[in-house]
Structures are given as C-alpha cells and as structure tokens.
Structure 1
C-alpha cells in the first residue's frame, strides 16, 4: 500500500525534467489513430480512438462520468502528435489511477489525504520576516478558520517545523466529509492535496469556498515571497507551470465530475 501511495505522491509532484528522463528510457508508442473522440457508454462516456475504446493499464475500458470530463480527456488524446506521451495527459493519468487503483483502495487513499490534513502546510507558520508572516495570516487564516467551522473543531497553528498533532475529532470529520466521494473525485482530491501540500486548500476547492487561482496562490506564499526577494529561477518557473497543468486537471474533475 505504501508503494501505491508513494507512486501517487511522486506522480503528482515530479517535475517535467524528471518525467521526461523517465520516459526517455523507454520508447513512447507512436500515435496510431487519426481521431480521438468521446462516446456515450452504459455507465458514462468512453474515449474512442478511430472507434476503438481506450483501455486503462488494468485492461478495463476507461470510463468517465460525464461529457465535460470525457471531452477533456479526449482532447488530451487528440493533442498527441507523433507519439503518445503520458506526461502531457494528466486527466488520463488521474482517471486511470482512479479506475485501476483508487476504486480498490478507497479507504487507504482517503486516509492519506486526511494524513495531509494532520500535517497541513497551512498550519505551519513562519515567525519572520514580518511581511511573510502577514501574508500567511491574510491568505491562510481564513481557510483554516473556515475548515475548522465546517468540520466542527479548530486546527492547531504551529510556528516553525516541529510537528504538533491536530485534534483527532477534526481529522475524523474530514474523513467523514470525503467518504462519499467517487474514486475519480478522490483521486483528483489526492492530486490537488499533494501538489499544494494542503488538504485544507483541496477541501476548500471541493466545497466551492476557493477557486483554483486562490488556492494555487495560497499554496505558493513562501515560494512567491522568495521570488519577490531573490528573483525567479527559469527552471523552477518551468516546473511550477507544469505542476499547474496537473493541478488544473484535478480541479476540472473536482468541479465537473
């Protein structure tokens, strides 16, 4: 189980260069189809490549819950050029993971998301400089307070990096809140949580309390502070842009699935 969760974390967090290196070690399959489309199926929508249904790595027909998500997945397949590159297909990867793995290990994945809430990035605060402290308070305090109200408790704020346990009742309420999710939505929630380091931000988007841009900005308070202070590194900017595409794929599922 840990291997499975570690794979989920790494898949969400890895940077474009790392993914490219991994893919370069094996030959990517050539694009073999002329048309990618979404078609109605008995339990949702499937992806057709010249009329042939796309299968997951587990050899089942990839099925999406509605036409909006299915059309977005089909667009990923249509956008492939000479080869099929999974690194540029985040929606397809999330859907494959949901169907092949999360559906069979729902409780473990939900527990992993709750584990993030127990060590949430928004609860760990800088003690200086004052400008960073103020920005964290401004962007993070409302989310932490909102989440506590929603879950019937209060999250503990910590200065520094020494771990402090969050109230068990609040974490249990978080788990209950997401227990009715579909495997696809849970996979997307896990992806958003991993990319932001915050189960509270992911929950806020799920509940419609924050939009994607607000959550993304809140997740990068310290990074943006350092950019403002020292300037932006081109490679880091490239990685961040890539992760944003992963994040946006998760958000699309949370908003539309």
Structure 2
C-alpha cells in the first residue's frame, strides 16, 4: 500500500466550511485524530485517520474507486478543526450510504424514483399568477429545457396549471437507460443532487457539464430570489442556504465523477435511441 497526504486541498475545504457555516450549530464530537491520508488497496482507494482505515457506520472499510474522490473525502475529514461536524460532510455521507446501503436499494429502485420525480421537476411549473415572474422563468428556464430535450431527443411539456405535466413513455425509457448507465454509487449521488435541487433536469445538466452547481442552484431558487428582490432578504440566512445547496450539488457531482471512471469508458456520446 502507498500512502498519500491531503494538506493542500484540506486547507481550502476548511476555509470554505468556515465561510459557509459560521452560524450553524450541530451535535458534534471532538476531533480524535491528527493526520489524514489515503492508501491504495488493489483497485480501490481507502481513507486513513492516523493510518487507521476510515469505516462506515456499519463497520465496513470506506473504499472508493478513484484516487481524486478518496483525496476529497480525506480532505473533508482534515478540514474538521476542533470538532467533527458530520452534517456538513456530504462526501463522506454519500460514500457511507452507497457502501452500507441502509435502505437495501438497487440501481433500478433509484432510477424508478428519479423517473417518478420528473413530473414534479421545478422547471416544469411556471407561475400562473405573476406575469413578471412567469417571464423571468421563461427567460431562465426555457434554455435549459430546450437543451434537455435536444440532448435526449425528447419532448417534455410544462404544467399548464397545478396538474402534473405528462411524461411520455419514450422519455421514461431514454432516461431509464441513461440513469442505469451509472453505477450504484454515482446514481445514489445523482439522487442526492436531484433532491437538493428539486429537479432531475437541473441535476442532469450539471452531470453533463451544461451547468455549474452555482448556476443550477440559482435556477432552482429562481422564484425565491424573485420574491427576495421584492421583499428583501435576511442579511446572511439566504446566502447561507444557497451556499449549502451548492455544496450538496458539488459534492454529488464529485462523487459521480469519482465513481464514474468505469462509466466514462462505456458512456454514450449521445443517448440511446428509443425502441
């Protein structure tokens, strides 16, 4: 086994944690280790705390499929200062969930959930009451919807009222194949990002590198930002929420990228055509 350190990356993570979560208070425990690192074991990478393997809540060794992802998880642990604030450690949580799988889910379970989520996608519901907001949504959301339809060669309606818009069988089939082209770890991370954004479309746009996490968060918060521009905002609370959402989406994308090296070798340049 060959050991590695993560000091340079962790200093950046620590600075960001201090910036993003200055007022958050969680149940924490004291930091019990001095150094973090990573080791390679066969084709996997493991995180170490004082040369001891980091384990999941179920006692399994936390191992990932790529060195960059292992470095990022180790940096997340090294970024903890006096206390360990686990609710902010999204990378560790995502890896733990994928390894322990407490819900005993399969990739098909997650893909089915994401397909059922699509009709409730934030981008499919434009305001029916405020003309100014509706115009803003059309300006900001329509280009993303058009990209999505072109990317997957599908047509997706938006809601005309409070009713869920229909999703064609062909669209479900194309997206099912797309989701199932990812391994379980990556698909679990995609689901995490979808739930943060309330939008499979925005998360897919991030995975496909059409949008940056910060852009996706602003789009999913478009109505809230519109209301804040009219009624004002709490000096720090809304920025904190935006930063937290961005951190969640960025963590999910990092896991997708790290877990997706095997996926990249077989990824499609274009989505498969429907039968």
Normalising by structure 2, what TM-score? 0.78
- 4+ aligned runs moved over 4 Å, structure 1: none
Partner of 1:251: 253
CA deviation digits over 1:144-170, x for unaligned, max 9?
222223333211111332223321221
Describe the SS at the equivalent of 1:125.
Answer: coil
Partner of 1:10: none
Q: CA deviation at 1:235?
A: 3.1
User: Which structure shows the bigger proportion of residues in helix conformation?
Assistant: 1
CA deviation digits over 1:136-190, x for unaligned, max 9?
1122112222222333321111133222332122122111111021222112211
Partner of 1:63: 63
CA RMSD of aligned residues (A): 2.2
CA deviation digits over 1:99-152, x for unaligned, max 9?
221885221112112222132111111134333212211221122222223333
Alignment of 1:182-197 (within 5 A): 182-197=183-198
Normalising by structure 1, what TM-score? 0.83
Distance 1:120 1:246 in 2: 18
Where does structure 1 lack aligned partners over 5 or more consecutive residues? 1-15
Partner of 1:143: 144
CA deviation digits over 1:56-88, x for unaligned, max 9?
112211112212111111011111223322112
- The size of the alignment, in residue pairs, is 236
Q: CA deviation at 1:48?
A: 0.4
Correspondence 1:240 to 2:250: no
Q: CA deviation at 1:239?
A: 2.8
Distance 1:249 1:67 in 2: 15
Alignment of 1:41-120 (within 5 A): 41-101=41-101, 104-120=105-121
More moved, 49-58 vs 210-219: 210-219
